[in-house]
Structure 1
Amino acid sequence: MIGKLKSIAKTALANPAIRKTYNAANRGVLEVAASTRVGATAYSLLGFATHNREQWAVLSGRRAYYRNLTTHRANHVELRRNVHRLEKGILMQPRRAVFARDYIEETVEFYAHALERPHTVSNIDAGEMQWAYDVLSEYFSIVTDDDPGVARSRVRFESLPAYSSSADVRPYPQGTLARTDITFDQMLQLAESRRSIRWFQDKPVPRELVDQALLVARQSPSACNRLPYEFLVFDEPEQVKVVSGIPFGAAGYGHQIPTIVVVKGDLSNYFSPRDRHVPYIDSSLATMGFIYALETLGLSSSIINWPDFEPLEAKMAKTLGLAPHERVIMLIAVGYADPDALVAYSKKKEIDNIRTYNSLG
């Protein structure tokens, strides 16, 4: 039904007179609606269905965030956030004698909660707990007890059993960072050789290569180290067919995709609507690293656009069993490129068209 309606719309807009009328009507409405915030509010009320899924996702995510404060999980986003905030305070120049007054008590409680109800041991869980313990230990070694909350937090932390392994994962000097030997020319070559590939060989994608690429993806910057995303990988042919058949962007070539990845953002990582765009940003940063890594492993990919279109959102949510606060960011087709198939040249903009210096409003 959706495909049929889309076909009818495309046929109608192919008529120059209809397209001209359509464009003029849109411009007229938007000239009024976009002129003031009052006009935008009125327009949003009329176009309620267009934005409502994101509003629902944000509220559902905030609800899940507060529910999760008393629930044990493999990783604890509120603990991750606060520990990273402590890291930033520790490395500040000049460092304050006392900092994190407003959140140190809850951070220790988050840590205690995670420690007292241990999850099935996994590398991710153990690593997170070690990181939290080491950073909290460093914090209490450098701050004074001038603040009553800090003093209470120190007593509480020292009453907990030590969490220790061979690793030490607290902040460390920038000068000890291992620098890469990759040159600019090599990086540029990788970027220029990566193309959006839509035609693949009939050859399975090894899962170990996908996981290797994800090691690169997870190193991407993430606001407060939350990593608010998940890569849902499908490589069973029937499931690939179902998932790749949902987005409009895979029409015509989805039938021969060997592996398809759905990048999912999770709004339950946030207590405030101010952060509602962060999952889109962080997952996009991770995706870029992921597809560059795929290239180095001999695999090709293409990003499949996922517009916020209610009928497809509802279908994808049902197919994947997504909670309201879990949002699809994009899809990625992955496979071995068919050497005999064509690839788009896709001329890029000139640097002067994407960059300005010191251009205040």
Structure 2
Amino acid sequence: MIKKLKRIAKQLLAVPAIRKTYEGATRGVLEVGGSSRVGATLYGLLGFVTFNREQWAVLSGRRAYYRNLGRQRRTHVELRRNVHRLEKGILMRPRRETFAKDYVLETVEFYVRAVRREADAPALDPSELAWAHDVLTEYFTVVTAADPVVDRARAMFASVDAVPTSGTTKPYPHSSIPASGVTYEQMLALAHQRRSVRWFLDKPVDRDLVDKAIAVGRQAPTACNRLPYEFLVFDDPDQVRQVASIPFGAAGYAHQIPTIVVVKGRLDSYFSPRDRHVPYVDASLAAMSFMFALETLGLSSSVINWPDFEPLERTMQKKLKLAPYERVIMLIAVGHADPTSLIAFSQKKDLDVLRAYNTLEP
């Protein structure tokens, strides 16, 4: 139905008079809506459907965030955020004698709650608790000045049994990182090697290779180490067909995609609307690392365009059973490239177009 309506719209816009009228009306609306925040507000009232799904996702995510505080989960984003804030305080130069007084007690409360729930009904990723334990231990080691808030947090932390840990998941010297040995020339070659491939061999993709690539992707930077995304991998032929048939961007080649990955962002990782764009940024950083890793493993990929188009959003939400606060960031086709297929040249912009230095006015 959606594709039929799109075809009809294209046919109508092919008529010069209709196209001219449509473009004129569109420019008129944009002149008003794009002129000021007042104009944008008026546009929002009249065209609320355009942004309503994102608004719903943000509000639903905030509601879920607070509801989740009382639930047992595989991962606790509020704990992850605060522990990473402690890490940043520990590595600061110069380090303050006492810091994190406004959130260390909350952090310990999150930790104690997770430990006690884990003891009752194991479900949490053990590495998350171990990391929280080691960072909190380090915090109370380096913050020695007497302070009622810190002392209370320290006593609460000591009141629970220690979780199994190696004691090493805490800030460490940069000099201890082993050099990868990857040169700039090799990295540039990998960037040139990674091309958007749309034609694949009729050959299944090893799940172990996908997992290895995701392991690289998760090392990408992410705000407060929350990793507000998930990789939904489909390699069953029927399920691949169902998912790949939804986006417009896979038209013409969806039928021969061996594996398709839906990168999903989670807005329930945030308590404030100020962070509503973070899942898109973090997931995209992880996706790029994921695709580079695929290349090193002999696999190719192609990002499938996913515009914020209400009919498609609704179809995908129903198909994947997504919560309102779960947003599709992108889809990625994965497979073994057909060596006889063509790829686009895709000329990139010159550096002088992409880059500018020191643009502030004197």
**TM-score under structure 2 normalisation?**
0.97
Q: Match of 1:343?
A: 343
Give the structure 1 partner of residue 138 of structure 2: 138
**Per the alignment, in what secondary structure is the counterpart of residue 264 of structure 1?**
strand
Q: Which amino acid aligns with 2:115?
A: L
Identity %: 66
CA distance in 2, matches of 1:207, 1:15: 49
- Whether 1:56 and 2:60 are equivalent positions in the alignment is no
Distance 2:210 2:22 in 1: 44
SS at match of 1:302: strand
| C-alpha distance after superposition, 1:34-54 (max 9, x if no partner) | 111101000011111110000
In the alignment, the residues of structure 1 paired with residue 71 and residue 61 of structure 2 have an alpha-carbon distance, to the nearest angstrom, of 15
1:86-122 residue CA offsets vs partner (Å, 9 max, x unmatched): 0000000011111111111111011001111117768
One-letter code of the match for 2:198? R
Query: Offset at 1:12?
Result: 2.5
Alpha-carbon distance in structure 1 between the residues aligned to 2:132 and 2:162: 11
Q: Deviations over 1:213-249 (max 9, x none)?
A: 0110000000000000000000000000000000011
Distance in 1 of aligned mates of 2:210 and 2:116: 34
The residue type paired with residue 341 of structure 1 is: S
Distance (whole Å) between structure 2 residues aligned to residue 292 and residue 20 of structure 1: 44
Task: Give the residue type in structure 2 aligned to 1:174.
Answer: H
Q: Quote how far apart the aligned CAs of 1:359 are.
A: 0.7
Query: Does the 8 Å contact 1:87/1:135 carry over to 2?
Result: yes
Distance 1:293 1:14 in 2: 43
Once the two structures are superposed, the pairs formed by residues 171-190 of structure 1 within 5 Å of their partners are 171-190=171-190
CA distance in 1, matches of 2:15, 2:186: 48
SS at match of 2:70: coil
Q: Give the corresponding residue for 2:205.
A: 205
Matches within 5 A, 1:1-361: 1-118=1-118, 125-360=125-360
Offset of residue 175 of structure 1: 1.5
Once residues 276 and 244 of structure 1 are traced to their aligned partners in structure 2, the CA distance between those partners, rounded to angstroms, is 27
**3-state DSSP of counterpart to 1:118:** helix
| Distance apart, 1:16 and its partner CA | 4.0
Shift of 1:125: 1.4
Counterpart of 1:173, as a letter, is P
Helix, strand or coil for the counterpart of 1:117? helix
State the Cα distance separating 1:255 from its structure 2 match. 0.7
Query: 3-state SS of the aligned residue for 1:230?
Result: strand
Separation in 2 of the partners of 1:282 and 1:86? 20
- CA distance in 2: counterparts of 1:121 and 1:301, whole angstroms: 37
Deviation of 1:158 (Å):
1.2
Distance 1:351-1:16 versus aligned 2 partners, 3 A rule: farther
State how far apart, in whole Å, the 1-side matches of 2:150 and 2:215 are.
Answer: 36
Distance in 1 between the 2:355 and 2:237 partners? Answer: 43
Q: Structure 1 stretch 61-70 or stretch 156-165: which is displaced more?
A: 156-165
- Name the aligned partner's letter for residue 311 of structure 1: P
Cα distance in 2, alignment partners of residues 20 and 186 from structure 1? 50
* CA-CA distance at 1:22 after TM superposition: 2.4
Q: Distance in 2 between matches of 1:166 and 1:99?
A: 25
1:125-173 deviation per Cα after TM superposition (whole angstroms, max 9, x unaligned)? 1111111011001101111353321111111111111223335111011
| Consecutive unaligned residues in structure 1, runs of 5 or more | none
Q: Which residue identity lines up with residue 320 of structure 2 in the other structure?
A: L
What SS does structure 2 have at the residue aligned with 1:261? strand
Shift of 1:212: 0.5
Structure 1 residues 151 and 145, CA gap change in structure 2 (3 angstroms): farther
Structure 2: segments with no counterpart, 5+ residues = none
Q: CA RMSD in A?
A: 1.4
User: TM-score with structure 1 length normalisation?
Assistant: 0.97
SS in 2 for 1:331: strand
